[in-house]
Amino acid sequence: MSKKIVNSIIFTFMCLMVIVFLTPIYFIVLNSFKGKLFISDAPFALPTSETFSMFTNYVNGVTKTGFFSAFFWSLFITVFSVVAIILFTSMIAYYITRVKSKLTSLIYYIFVFSMIVPFQMVMFTMSKLADMLKLNTPWGMVLLYLGFGAGLSVFMFSGFIKSIPLEIEEASMIDGCNPLQTFFGIVMPILKPTVVTVAILNAMWVWNDYLLPYLVIGVATNYKTIPVAVQYLIGSYGEKDMGAMMALLVLAIIPIVIFYLACQKFIIEGVVAGAVKG
């Protein structure tokens, strides 16, 4: 009996916390449907017939920032960076765990070292170097993300590859597979759980990253990603269109919420695994 009461108190408390957690989302969705002049009057009130503005804010938000183009480039850079990171960092991780020499262990330690270096340490020199090498394109971004994301990914892949028994690979080599066939046919399938973790951690990072695309690609091109476009519309000086801002924020979180609800289990597991190992 008393346990039931305690549980219902906790349940009520948790429901309250859910409301607290969802308030910011509720706030921007609500105000994205109000005329821009009405937002500051009664920010938490539902839109009335006078203040309701249909999709005007969405139209403004989309046209002012080129949201769909930003969405496309965010998706493009995220997908190709994640594919490149998974493919190439697992390969180098395989090489440096299987071929033991002073050089490979030095490379491994440099990768591990890079994980603790904050982005600010290299941001100026990296963006200048990227400029000199003409990497200020979406493909250039993929290369930079591969390089800067390599530390954590190599670390996680090597940790897993160490635990795979050598015999399986030796058997496949004896059967006449070359190392590439062995890696993609035998090792890669075993690596699957780590692939999922690495993919999720990197996808979240690349999709949300602001500074790297801002510094390398900048705002003067058509390659703006979503965070850059949001900062470009809202962070610039001058009069702000509050309505368009709300609509843009709603549009920016919709893809994330859909992605989260679709692969929630993998995301939570991946993030926890990344936290515990990193």
Each residue 220-239 as x (binds other proteins by CB under 8 A) or -, in order, gives ------xx--xx--xx----
Instruction: Compare residues 28 and 196 and give the one whose CB is closer to other proteins.
Output: 28
Cβ 29 to other proteins, closest distance in Å? 10
Binding mask 56-95 for other proteins (x = CB under 8 A): ----------------------------x---xx-xx-xx
Residue 7 CB-half CA count within 13 A: 4
What is d(CA 38, CA 20) in angstroms, rounded to the nearest whole number? Answer: 24
Q: Which of 124, 159, 193, 219 binds other proteins (CB under 8 A)?
A: 124
The CB-of-143 to other proteins minimum distance in angstroms stands at: 5
- DSSP for 231-276? HHHHSSSS---HHHHHHHHHHHHHHHHHHHHHSHHHHHHHHHHHHH
Select from 197, 205, 178, 210 the least CA-distant residue to 271. 197
Q: How many CB atoms lie within 10 A of CB 270?
A: 22
Among 62, 70, 77, 146, binds other proteins (CB under 8 A): 146
Site for other proteins in 155-194 (CB under 8 A): 166, 169-170, 173, 178-180, 183
Residue from 24, 159, 185, 193 binding other proteins (CB under 8 A): 24
User: What Rg do the C-alpha atoms of the chain give, in angstroms?
Assistant: 24
What Cα–Cα distance (Å) separates residue 211 from each residue in 124, 165, 200, 221? 11, 41, 20, 15
The yes or no reply on residue 267 touching other proteins (CB under 8 A) is: yes
Cβ at position 28, least distance to other proteins in Å: 6
Nearer to other proteins among residue 13 and residue 52 (C-beta): 13
Quote the DSSP letter at residue 37. T
Give the residue, chosen from 1, 5, 220, 276, that forms a contact with other proteins under the rule CB under 8 A. Answer: 276
Please, what is the minimum distance in Å from the beta carbon of residue 203 to other proteins?
A: 10
| Least distance between other proteins and beta carbon 163 (Å) | 17
Long-range pairs, 217-223, Cβ under 8 A, ≥24: 217/136, 217/137, 217/138, 217/141, 218/136, 221/136, 222/66, 222/69, 223/73, 223/137, 223/138
Among 62, 70, 86, 154, binds other proteins (CB under 8 A): 154
